[in-house]
Amino acid sequence: MTLTPGLDTALILRTAALGQRRRAWGVVLGIQTGTLLWGAFASLGVTALLTASHLAYTTLRLVGAAYLVWMGLRMLWTSLRRLPDALAAEAGAEPDRLRDGWRRGALTNLLNPKVGALYMALLPQFIPADVPHLPFGMALASIHVAFGVVWSAVLVTFAHALRSWLAKPSARRLMDRITGGVIAAFGLRLAFGE
């Protein structure tokens, strides 16, 4: 689950490639906060509501899809309308704050009902019936978080190493177009797919 490329990977790579190391680590910590919360929800049986209630799942799915489409289209729009000099200036204008990255990572993870469905499907299978569900489930989610942090460190280091090349306006536009397209497509798939 940790190594599968997806939305989290794209978000971490893009943020780190822009040279925003604190923001990239904020994204990582936000994603992992979301993972822990999904683990707690699954351990307590709350995510069963997503499975049992079509309305709850559909609402979360549509809100999450709208957020992802908005974020992806914003990246695409910015990359298409900016001149190379303005694009380079904007890269330095965005503050490199941990909390901004954390907010984006947490929102992206928590508004993705597929993560909740995955946790609902997998986590309860590994919790023995004779143990307290919440502590055991949180221990399992913490193992997933530890793997996620290690893999994210590799991604941040890799993207940071390529930063000088990726800082070029043409590379930044390409990266934003690809990342924005992937995020918007994921949002559309979430909205219209099952």
For the whole model, what pTM was predicted?
0.78
- Encode pLDDT of 5-52 as tens digits: 778 888 898 888 887 889 999 999 999 999 999 999 888 888 777 767
- Encode pLDDT of 137-176 as tens digits: 999 999 999 999 999 999 999 888 887 777 777 887 888 8
CA–CA dist 125, 58 (Å, integer)? 24
CA–CA dist 167, 15 (Å, integer)? 11
Percentage of the chain exceeding pLDDT 70: 90
Phi, psi of 81 (to 5 degrees): -100, -10
Q: Please give, one letter per residue, the 3-state secondary structure of the chain.
A: CCCCCCHHHHHHHHHHHCCCHHHHHHHHHHHHHHHHHHHHHHHHCCCHHHHHCHHHHHHHHHHHHHHHHHHHHHHHHHHHHCCHHHHHHHHHHCCCCHHHHHHHHHHHHHCCHHHHHHHHHHHHHHCCCCCCHHHHHHHHHHHHHHHHHHHHHHHHHHHHHCHHHHCCHHHHHHHHHHHHHHHHHHHHHHHHCC
Selection from 150, 152, 141 nearest residue 105 by Cα = 152
Note the pLDDT of residue 25.
Answer: 96
CA–CA dist 94, 153 (Å, integer)? 22
Helix axes 84-93, 169-192, angle to 10 degrees: 70
Note the pLDDT of residue 92.
Answer: 52
Note the pLDDT of residue 21.
Answer: 87
What are the domain boundaries of the chain?
7-192
Phi, psi of 162 (to 5 degrees): -95, 5
Residue with tokens 């303005």: 86
